[in-house]
Structure 1
């Protein structure tokens, strides 16, 4: 048990020890890598089981894809993120338009069509003068729209990072499951061949051969399913950066922090700094800027006119100066002001809803991370050592003639399944950590992305 515990503790994160069983066709010895060879006393031919050292996740010479590389590719090529980022360019255009002043108006007024009947021509240039701070209010609203668009980008980047992390780990887990399934099928096939030879020699009952063939068929089906799942997971990962081609590069274990998970209260205290809550605050500021604009538009604009009036009969030219302003008797923009005020109330309520939603999601991710950690600890301390011990006992019992070969096969498959469950617990913990990062840290991976001019 101690030796098994030492072997289990040497597991890498996803580089789970793959057992390679080799059936000897001569010599009749059972070889255990943890100890010396043991030969059957009666000299019967027996399969040998060599537990090899854990191989690397991928060949050193092969092309690999790391988690950070996958995230970088998604950040630069994801169509949805690119669409959200284009909102910044749109908001820049709106900001430029908001700062423009009204164009002057040139008009010509002719009274009378005949020069002999006192025809007069009036040339007039009019300029609207915005009062009440409308231009400044429009600019502030446009800047808040840009800040909101930037918040959308930060939220999209945080969501994309978490989604790529989950897709990468799902593909990596499926890749390792397929490797375990291949090992299980190899064992089952060799077991079936060995059982056939021993039945032919009259050493065991034909029932043992039938059971070994059933086990081999089951292992073949499991391998087909594992390969299909791995291909689907890799295709989903490639879709994160807009690729429709199957992913050919191997995946390796990410170097993520496995430190103790902070308490939920500590994480919730940092929730206000999340991209989601920052965007909710920007939405409130945007609606408040809309209120300022609606109030500014209650002030009517003043139109200044300057021109000349020329009488064609007397050939007299007169200067024309005029001022005009709408009288705010009926329309004082009261409907827009009320709408803007209610929009502020709605944005505040939406922020409260967002906080509750993100807080619940944070608690869910924290619980999943804690549960996965408990499962990993339990498997490292109890399940994996017990499965390894059962396999060692089955091998020893088979050597001494106390167990059938199918018992060794069942023990080996149980060990494989335990390691597969350990992979699943690791992947679940990583996905939960990715969700925690989604709701906690502000986006610091924007690179050359334009920043909010109003942010401190």
Structure 2
């Protein structure tokens, strides 16, 4: 088992082994088959026809028969073959964009679960500190009770608090194990092969203005899907328009007259009438579907703007919370706990004052961990929405982008 795993390793393993991405090679194979079909020209047909045979009178038997062997096919009008190939080609572009979206979504999920494991590590360490503090409190209370300075009831309360801290530590250990299992599942593993993850929970990367971030949203593969689908709908519209051009069916053959033992060439052609009118509905449908893509793109941009706005401001608030806790609140609570413990040992404060000071410090540290995890999670969401790292100035690619926040 590896002692640690990095975010880069987690991303690489997930992108190469995640089951949700394994369907795409089959989709590409299906498009390859469609491309082979689309480039085929109309097939040739060989036909045999017999007339005036097996009748009555002069037409009994085959002596008066007329036998025809003919070769026939279709001449496609309106560049139908090129239009079919265009549809398949642009379908591949749509699939490329969908693969990028799926990969980016997976990248975001890997980062979120990685942050959850990183936060669980910090909370596990904090639970260990809480258990140690509870044990230290029990020692102090027991010593004071032995000196007759505090009632036995406080010893019982301290014992209960120490046992509850142990239970909380055990629960946090189980949560940490679950978070590791959830992360490993992204690369198709049911059992984590690492002990912990690397990273700094309290490093958040660079701040970027909201307008600059939203300007990058249009490069998101989600929006690129609409561009690819628009091109696909154009190709489908062209294909529908080519169907308005009637194809010409031709045939050429030889006819044998049994009665005179003569032969003659036979030729013919046919084409449907009013095919343009009959196909107008398909053209109207294709045009409507093309225009629908533009409307859907505008809706998606509005939705992405809302998501980005929420993630941007929540990240900013979380960072402010982490910094305030680390620079002012937690140092003050640490000092208060030290002074309260000393005063309690001298008999100036009661047990409740001592326990409250200890719990306030633990709560503040836990809040700082949760806020830091939220800041990194919202940062990962911003990177997923913009398809670019918050540290894009260093030119990282998509597979490496999200690691910048945790280094």
More helix by proportion, 1 or 2?
A: 2
Q: Secondary structure at the match of 2:187?
A: coil
Partner Cα distance (1:440, 1:85) in 2: 26
Partner Cα distance (1:62, 1:316) in 2: 89
Partner Cα distance (2:256, 2:399) in 1: 63
CA 1:232/1:436 → structure 2, altered by over 3 Å: closer, same or farther?
Answer: same
User: Which one of the candidate residues 411, 422, 426 is aligned to 2:357?
Assistant: 411
* 1:246-296 Cα shifts (integer Å, max 9, x gaps): 564311216997344211111111211111111111111211211111001
Contact 1:129-1:301 within 8 A present in 2 as well? yes
CA 1:229/1:382 → structure 2, altered by over 3 Å: closer, same or farther?
Answer: same
Matched, 1:76 2:16: yes
Counterpart for residue 451 of structure 1: none
Partner Cα distance (2:98, 2:154) in 1: 63
Partner Cα distance (1:446, 1:260) in 2: 18
User: Which one of the candidate residues 224, 247, 272 is aligned to 2:170?
Assistant: 224
Partner Cα distance (1:306, 1:280) in 2: 48
Counterpart for residue 328 of structure 1: 274
Counterpart for residue 39 of structure 1: none
Unaligned runs of 5+ in 2: 55-59, 390-396, 401-407
CA 1:277/1:116 → structure 2, altered by over 3 Å: closer, same or farther?
Answer: closer
- Note the 1:300-315 alignment, pairs <5 A: 300-315=246-261
Aligned CA-pair RMSD: 2.6
Q: What is the TM-score with the length of structure 2 in the denominator?
A: 0.87
User: Which one of the candidate residues 407, 411, 430 is aligned to 2:376?
Assistant: 430
Residue 190 of structure 1, CA deviation: 4.3
Residue 330 of structure 1, CA deviation: 7.9
Counterpart for residue 173 of structure 1: 119
Farther-moved stretch of structure 1 (252-261 vs 153-162): 252-261
Counterpart for residue 393 of structure 2: none
CA 1:257/1:404 → structure 2, altered by over 3 Å: closer, same or farther?
Answer: closer
Q: Secondary structure at the match of 1:106?
A: strand
Partner Cα distance (1:266, 1:100) in 2: 48
Farther-moved stretch of structure 1 (236-245 vs 368-377): 236-245
Counterpart for residue 392 of structure 2: none
Counterpart for residue 293 of structure 2: 347
Partner Cα distance (1:177, 1:243) in 2: 24
CA 1:162/1:256 → structure 2, altered by over 3 Å: closer, same or farther?
Answer: farther
Contact 2:138-2:155 within 8 A present in 1 as well? yes
Q: Secondary structure at the match of 2:70?
A: strand
Matched, 1:97 2:37: yes
Counterpart for residue 325 of structure 2: 379
Counterpart for residue 51 of structure 1: none
Counterpart for residue 107 of structure 1: 47
Contact 1:110-1:121 within 8 A present in 2 as well? yes
Partner Cα distance (1:64, 1:224) in 2: 21
Unaligned runs of 5+ in 1: 1-60, 448-456
Matched, 1:296 2:242: yes
Q: What is the TM-score with the length of structure 1 in the denominator?
A: 0.78
Partner Cα distance (2:239, 2:71) in 1: 28
Farther-moved stretch of structure 1 (148-157 vs 405-414): 405-414
Q: How many equivalent residue pairs?
A: 387
- Note the 1:186-225 alignment, pairs <5 A: 186-225=132-171
Partner Cα distance (1:143, 1:256) in 2: 46
Q: Secondary structure at the match of 1:314?
A: coil
Partner Cα distance (1:430, 1:66) in 2: 15
User: Which one of the candidate residues 93, 103, 110 is aligned to 1:157?
Assistant: 103
Matched, 1:122 2:62: no
Partner Cα distance (1:296, 1:119) in 2: 42
Residue 185 of structure 1, CA deviation: 1.6
Contact 1:84-1:156 within 8 A present in 2 as well? no
Contact 2:245-2:275 within 8 A present in 1 as well? no
Partner Cα distance (1:261, 1:312) in 2: 93
User: Which one of the candidate residues 357, 360, 364 is aligned to 2:306?
Assistant: 360
CA 1:85/1:158 → structure 2, altered by over 3 Å: closer, same or farther?
Answer: farther
Matched, 1:263 2:209: yes
Q: Secondary structure at the match of 1:100?
A: coil
Counterpart for residue 8 of structure 1: none
Residue 195 of structure 1, CA deviation: 3.0
CA 1:254/1:90 → structure 2, altered by over 3 Å: closer, same or farther?
Answer: farther
Counterpart for residue 184 of structure 1: 130
Contact 2:246-2:275 within 8 A present in 1 as well? no
Farther-moved stretch of structure 1 (114-123 vs 336-345): 114-123
